[in-house]
Structure 1
Amino acid sequence: MMAIEPPNDHSRKLSRRQVLGAGAGALASGLAGCLTGGGAEAAADDGADGPVAVASFFSFYDFAREIARNTPITVENLVPTGLHGHGWEPDASITRDIIDADAFIHVGPDFQPWADRAIQTLEDDDVDTARINVREGIELESLAASLDRDEEGVGQDRGKDPHFWLDPRRAKQAVDNIAEGLVALAPAAEATLRDNAETYKADVLDRIDADYADIFDRADRNVVQLAAHNAFQYIGTRYGVEMRPLVVNLAASGDVKPSDITAAKAVIEENDIRYIGAGVFETRKPARQLLAETAVEAYYPVTPYAGVREDWVANDWGYEEIADRINMPTFEVVLGNTAPEDAGPDGWNETWRNFE
């Protein structure tokens, strides 16, 4: 099934340049007030004059730039460095980047409200920016915990967990969806785009899948306590481990209740847990509380690939490097497979033990 959503009738559509030249102010007003703070963070490719695709979420920006290597397509990340892609709300200036792009790569409906509003505005104003839905054809897992009534990230898929990309096997379908969309943008580069997608799936996602399976297969413990929001269930489901998030809803900004802390304390005591994971782009306050009030000795980083730090950008880290250098070493430690001082690359323990 094609993941790209092209305009239905080009004779009626406004071009991006027409909108920018004549009606961008009117179009942007459709998003003003509901978008707060942002801008495009460029990522590049081999052809500045070719088609431009902008992505609403870091993971899929990274997939797209890998697929677009050695083609005329430029891929840009709309989420600024240091921000979590799920809870971020850009201001109306981001509209110009979307209008001026040839394609908008998004995570499907009801995950990022600002992206849904942007797509609706493009449709209402007949703008010809194509939409590439990375979630097309992917079966979502049911949530393990009830959600708040106004929980972000569910909508028509209420009761479903949207964080499918943490499962490398489901992520392969997203790579296929992006490849289909980019082929529609640059048909002359089809062979390269498809080859890049197949190589990425085999060399990166299959390898990550095997490495995760090895980590969890070697573990004596099958419970992981995370001082983080409910984003890691796909890893738990795929590899047979119980992920216990401190914040049971889907929003990274979700409040930690006293009952959440009490439940986490019980899990820590019952399972003799000495190390826990903490969300890189979330408050560390509850992790520090568990450190002070339980037998936990340290917390280490986990991330659902929803954003990047400045040092990660400087080192050109993508989904692969974050899996290898952040999540995998932490899972090795919290499961008891490896002592913290032996985990990760040189200096990993010193850098990430009880990180700020």
Structure 2
Amino acid sequence: MTEHTFEPRRVSRREALAAGAGAAVAGLSGCLSGGGQTSGSTGDSAADDGPTVVASFFSFYDFGREIARDTPITVENLVPTGLHGHGWEPNTSVTKRIVEADAFLHVGPDFQPWADRAIRTIEDDGVDTMLIDAREGIELASLAATLDSDEEGVGENRGKDPHFWLDPQRAKQSVDNITEGFVALAPDAEDRLRENAERYKTETLEQIDADYRAIFDAAERDVVQLAAHNAFQYIGLRYGVEMRPLVVNLAASGDVKPSDIVDAKRVISENDIRYIANGVFESRRPAKQLVAETAVEAYFPVTPYAGVREEWVEENWGYEEIAYNINMPTFEIVLGNVAPEEIEIDGWTDKWRNFE
């Protein structure tokens, strides 16, 4: 195993653009800060009378606002701050907002039932809201063999894992899908849209992929125990690590069964695991139980980019910032690459060790 301490990556491209070229300094320690993002706006120079896109999921809202930067398109995130985008059920006002928008950016069928219902409303009523499927043409992986048979999804996606965006390479295809939709929506901005998309894929997603790979390649351990739902398989597939979810179904609200705890205890014991990962937007109770009843010393945060906390909104965090400030430090710790106190983001370990 390579000996090293975790250091946060350079300032994100979003922050560099907001603060000016002088802010782009490599190796900045501490949490990244942003330019006043509010849930529901690109925060850029979009014209008030330009087309509006509403997104059903945070990750694709973030991809969309990067693609739409400095164009007339405004992108809004429909999922409220603090909620997980998979399992949330909105009221009818959200469907009304979708119908009023110029385009609805969604994650494909059979993932968010409320989004599927909104799409049927648009199609059945002849509403002219454009539909942009971020998942179109993306090959989904088969679900883990441990998945409950009644949680395997429905329709053509039965037995498939929908969380493809955790793989930066698959995420690039969704950026292309979103770009094509935006070009159709605002053809006069095509050049800028395509430039933004290509820059985001090459400068952000490729770098995230490389930095994830460096973390996983440095590890001797190849098993990660998650006190979280079954959302991280694509990370394991991309980087050759076994992701062991505590909740084996696809929804973050899934119940933890006694057998799930028993299996997690076995994995922890067999692999001499000292640190586990817990979903930011999921219950802490199972993780606390494992800390109390096994050799695990602490749990640390992970998220499938499915929602945002209030402070992340205030700091204008997106997919990139969450990767570097939440998931990567935790994977370094749970893989055994570094001790928690070696994370060099100011205050990170104190804040996130056994977080509430």
Q: Do both proteins adopt the same fold according to a TM-score greater than 0.5, normalized to the shorter chain? A: yes
Would the aligned equivalents of 2:148 and 2:248 in 1 still touch at CA under 8 Å? no
| Unpaired segments ≥5 residues, structure 2 | 1-37
Deviation string for 1:8-53 (max 9, x for gaps)? xxxxxxxxxxxxxxxxxxxxxxxxxxxxxxxx94122421210000
Structure 2 residue aligned with 1:122: 122
Higher relative contact order (CA 8 A, sep 6+): 2
- Structural mapping, 1:249-260, within 5 Å: 249-260=249-260
Would the aligned equivalents of 1:225 and 1:276 in 2 still touch at CA under 8 Å? yes
Give the drift of 1:68. 0.2
Q: Distance in 2 between matches of 1:313 and 1:199?
A: 23
- Structural mapping, 1:220-299, within 5 Å: 220-299=220-299
- 2:268 corresponds to which letter in structure 1? I
Instruction: Specify the SS of the correspondent of 2:213.
Output: helix
| Unpaired segments ≥5 residues, structure 1 | 1-39
Q: Distance in 2 between matches of 1:198 and 1:224?
A: 33
Give the drift of 1:152. 7.6
Instruction: Specify the SS of the correspondent of 2:182.
Output: helix
Q: Tell me the TM-score normalised to structure 1 length.
A: 0.87
Instruction: Specify the SS of the correspondent of 1:246.
Output: strand
Would the aligned equivalents of 1:69 and 1:196 in 2 still touch at CA under 8 Å? yes
Residues 349 and 311 of structure 1, relative CA distance in 2, 3 Å threshold = same
Residues 306 and 153 of structure 1, relative CA distance in 2, 3 Å threshold = farther
Q: Tell me the TM-score normalised to structure 2 length.
A: 0.87
Deviation string for 1:277-297 (max 9, x for gaps)? 000000000000000000000
Deviation string for 1:59-102 (max 9, x for gaps)? 00000000000000000000000000001000001112101111
The number of residue pairs the alignment matches comes to 317
Structure 1 residue aligned with 2:7: none
- 1:323 corresponds to which letter in structure 2? A
Would the aligned equivalents of 1:154 and 1:160 in 2 still touch at CA under 8 Å? no
Give the drift of 1:156. 2.2
Deviation string for 1:240-297 (max 9, x for gaps)? 0000000111110111011100110011011110000000000000000000000000
Instruction: Specify the SS of the correspondent of 2:151.
Output: coil
- 1:281 corresponds to which letter in structure 2? F
Q: Distance in 2 between matches of 1:343 and 1:137?
A: 38
Give the drift of 1:147. 4.0
Structure 2 residue aligned with 1:99: 99
Structure 1 residue aligned with 2:74: 74
Would the aligned equivalents of 1:55 and 1:104 in 2 still touch at CA under 8 Å? yes
Q: Distance in 2 between matches of 1:147 and 1:320?
A: 29
- Structural mapping, 1:186-197, within 5 Å: 186-197=186-197
Deviation string for 1:131-165 (max 9, x for gaps)? 00000010000001354455385432110000000
Q: Distance in 2 between matches of 1:77 and 1:152?
A: 27
Q: Distance in 2 between matches of 1:319 and 1:344?
A: 20
Residues 228 and 154 of structure 1, relative CA distance in 2, 3 Å threshold = farther
Give the drift of 1:230. 0.3
Instruction: Specify the SS of the correspondent of 1:50.
Output: coil
Structure 1 residue aligned with 2:184: 184
Instruction: Specify the SS of the correspondent of 2:181.
Output: helix
Q: Distance in 1 between matches of 2:92 and 2:146?
A: 33
- 1:113 corresponds to which letter in structure 2? P
- 1:43 corresponds to which letter in structure 2? S
The answer to whether 1:301 aligns with 2:301 is: yes
Instruction: Specify the SS of the correspondent of 1:194.
Output: helix
RMSD over equivalenced CA pairs, Å: 1.2
Structure 2 residue aligned with 1:56: 56
Would the aligned equivalents of 2:152 and 2:158 in 1 still touch at CA under 8 Å? no
Structure 1 residue aligned with 2:30: none
Structure 1 residue aligned with 2:334: 334
Structure 1 residue aligned with 2:20: none
- Structural mapping, 1:16-55, within 5 Å: 41-44=39-42, 45=44, 46-55=46-55
Structure 2 residue aligned with 1:198: 198
- 1:228 corresponds to which letter in structure 2? A
Would the aligned equivalents of 1:145 and 1:248 in 2 still touch at CA under 8 Å? no
Q: Distance in 2 between matches of 1:308 and 1:296?
A: 27
Give aligned-pair identity as a percent. Answer: 75
- 2:328 corresponds to which letter in structure 1? M
Give the drift of 1:344. 4.8
Deviation string for 1:298-350 (max 9, x for gaps)? 00000000000000000000000000000000000000001101125111100
